[in-house]
Amino acid sequence: MWLDTLQERVAPPRLSDNCSLSCNPRIPRTPYIHSIMTLVETLLCRPCIFCEIVEGHIPGKIIYKAGHLMDLLNRGKESADNDIVAFDDINPSAETHILIVPVAHVENVKTLTPTNEHQGLLEKMRLKAIDLLKERGHDPEDTKLGFHVPPFNTVGHLHLHVLGGEFKSRFRKMKYEPKRMWYMDLAQLQADLEKKRRVQEGARNKIATASG
């Protein structure tokens, strides 16, 4: 059949871990439905591009990764951080434009929660951003650190924009202005998560006091 022939001609790429259409129990398991779902996965469920860079499946100008050559040369006696990777933006908006991403796939700022895991991750990203900016001769006080907010993010993998120096245009500078609906400053995000954590802790304490 034409469907079987088409499947044979499509080279199966690495699929995203979230792709499970053909295994969904709600979908009838007839041979042709299964074949169609498998083909949809093959064509549409592409892996996350930042996960691919982190894992080394596609090239990227890595400037920090635990165990990477540049890390071994620069780290000295400092401990490696296995949770994050940094690389230069392929289409920089400023003189320095670095992206710092978590190794584990985190969708975006909307999926972050006021937990030690996520708050600790953001702090690691902040500290690494400061180190990288200093290495390139920038004053961290005169730089921008932040995230684009869905649906204005272009890649569905949390990535911190680390920007230093002159912007390439007024439009590009506007993309990273704080307190806009499309962009959130890192410090503001950290403050918001900490506020949520305190509210949740207060609510739990009230419940514990009332039940005690």
What angle do helix axes 2-9 and 31-44 make, rounded to 10 degrees?
30
Predicted confidence band of residue 35 (pLDDT cuts 50, 70, 90): low
Question: For residue 80, what pLDDT is reported?
Answer: 59
The tokens for 46 are 């592409």
Q: Measuring CA to CA, which residue among 173, 167, 79 is closest to residue 127?
A: 79
**What contacts 166, CB < 8 A, 6 or more positions away?**
94, 95
Predicted confidence band of residue 72 (pLDDT cuts 50, 70, 90): very low
Predicted confidence band of residue 163 (pLDDT cuts 50, 70, 90): very high
Half-sphere exposure of 117 (CA within 13 A, CB side): 6
- Average pLDDT score, the chain: 82
Q: Would the pLDDT of 139 be above 80?
A: yes
Question: For residue 8, what pLDDT is reported?
Answer: 39
Please indicate whether residue 138 is annotated as part of the active site. no
Question: For residue 32, what pLDDT is reported?
Answer: 62
Residue 16 burial class via C-beta count within 10 angstroms: exposed 0-12, middle 13-18, buried 19 and up: middle
| pLDDT above 90: percentage of residues in the chain | 61
Predicted confidence band of residue 74 (pLDDT cuts 50, 70, 90): low
Catalytic residue among 97, 118, 138, 159: 159
